Amino acid sequence: PEPLLSNADVQHPDGWLDAHWMAFSANREFKAAPRLIASAEGSYYTTTDGRRVFDGLSGLWCAGLGHAREEIVEAVGRQVATLDYSPAFQFGHPLSFELANRIVEKMPTGLNRVFYTGSGSESADTALKMARAYWRAKGQAGKTRLIGRAKGYHGVNFGGISVGGIVGNRKTFGQAVEADHLPHTQPPNGSFHKGMPPAEAPDGWKGAALADELLQLIALHDASNIAAVIVEPFSGSAGVVIPPVGYLQRLREICTAHNILLIFDEVITGFGRCGQWTGAAAFGVVPDILTAAKQITNGAQPLGIVVARQEIYDTFMEQGGPDYMLEFPHGYTYSAHPVACAAGLASLDLLERDSALQRVRELSPVFETAVHSLRTARHVADIRNYGLAAGITVAPAPGEPAKRPWQIAMDMLRKGYYVRYGGDTIQLAPPFISTEAEIQSLIAALGDSFNATA
């Protein structure tokens, strides 16, 4: 195939690309026609052959403030020179406490204890372990089963894939943790709901009632065996699946009534993408535990968080034995990494100073109208959106459901736009700093790419 980027400027010996086994990538296809990014600034990448590419997914949903923001660059540089690392266990440094206090200000009332990890996957597994250990500390050690949801994505570690619901991420690895799954809430193709689907759609699809399936799982396993339910407020990786009106409220009610912890995985929805600090705030439902990552540092450093209700923290402290003993034997070398915390503080400053949430709320209707204009483009089977995120389901080519999304994304890249393709969807999450004109040209280019695809 003709290389997408010539790479003519990069002189490397044959086999130079072989050693790096790339993450979540089609290694053979990539290495035959590499797409190498040299630098980034604002909403644009520059490839190694000097082309500008608009960042239609804010990196991987993480760089909403745009790339190479001076304040973050400076904070990271300053911190690495001051304290590049300090031991994460039994010692601390001031920045992690400062950042935790700042994070708590942004969280729904009552979520006020912050545990640090290095990624979204680590945050998911931390939250699941925290839930099990919490019930054990409360004398209910039988409450171990974890409930996720079809189409859910909670990273790639064993806990996360056990509760996750994307078959491609699960089927290869066997079962690890006892889990069960709620049905997904994606409306049938052709629904084209804007924002939240109604509780009950005119075609009879009853989205909100899907939460009641949790009652079936409780009847099957009994609540005395269930530790937690984990869902994304809206699912990102599966192709942007938005909760129907009333659905999350119903999940909350059932969890409360049956003494089951509710965990929101806000790795994509947290810190601005919904136009609020959290999906919990956007959808008006407060979980017991909330995870986040990605946008906290604007992607400039790896950092994840797990934020728990104070009663959960207090339970660990009260059951912790002598005060020199660990209350929660869990954590990572890079938990509360000082450089990541510095990036987090700088990013929070910028999210506030740029009024980024307000900007997302202003841009969202423009984005919604633009993305739904693709409804009549070739192969478009459905469109879903919320805040500055959208998923477009691509009608499958016979026998090859993932092929057209790849072809469309590659065509977009040739034209100077990066969009994500995953499963049978194209996913968009433009930077919060996008202009209306950039959104319009992204969508116009995408429409052309859909129409040009066989």
What secondary structure does DSSP assign to 110-126, as a single string?
TEEEEEEESSHHHHHHH
Angstrom distances, CA of residue 386 to CA of 8, 163, 369, 389: 40, 24, 11, 5
Contact residue for ligand PLP among 153, 277, 313, 418 (CB under 6 A): 153
Contact call for residue 382 and ligand PLP (CB under 6 A): no
Q: Which of residues 247-276 bind ligand PLP (CB under 6 A)?
A: 265, 267-268
Q: Which stretch binds ligand PLP (CB under 6 A): 149-157, 282-290, 323-331, 425-433?
A: 149-157
CB of 303 to ligand PLP, least distance (A): 9
| Contacts of range 284-287, beta carbons closer than 8 Å, 24 or more positions apart | 284/248, 284/249, 285/233, 285/248, 285/249, 285/251, 285/252, 286/108, 286/109, 286/110, 286/111, 286/252, 287/111, 287/252, 287/262, 287/263
Query: What phi, psi does 306 have (nearest 5°)?
Result: -130, 120
Positions in 288-307 near ligand PLP (CB under 6 A): 293
Please say which residue, 79 or 297, places its beta carbon nearer to ligand PLP.
Answer: 297
Give the contacts of 35 (CB within 8 A, at least 6 positions apart).
4, 5, 47, 413
In 151-235, DSSP assigns E strands to 179-182, 226-231
Q: How far apart are CA 357 and CA 361, in angstroms?
A: 6
Q: Which stretch binds ligand PLP (CB under 6 A): 68-76, 115-123, 342-350, 372-380?
A: 115-123
Question: For ligand PLP, which is the closer residue by CB, 65 or 380?
Answer: 65
Select 108 or 422, whichever has its Cβ closest to ligand PLP. 422
Pair of tokens at residue 355 = 């009024």
The verdict on 108 binding ligand PLP (CB under 6 A) reads no
Nearest distance from residue 309's CB to ligand PLP, in Å?
20
Tokens of 203: 């075609």
Stretch that binds ligand PLP, among 172-180, 186-194, 232-240, 322-330 (CB under 6 A): 232-240
Q: Is 420 in the site for ligand PLP (CB under 6 A)?
A: no
When asked if residue 154 is in the footprint of ligand PLP (CB under 6 A), the reply is yes
**Using rule CB under 6 A, residue 236 touches ligand PLP:** yes
Helix (H, G, I), strand (E, B) or coil at 342: helix
- Piece of the chain touching ligand PLP by CB under 6 A; list 100-108, 153-161, 277-285, 356-364: 153-161
Residue nearest to ligand PLP (CB): 120
* Residue numbers at the binding site for ligand PLP (CB under 6 A): 119-121, 124, 153-155, 232, 236-237, 265, 267-268, 293
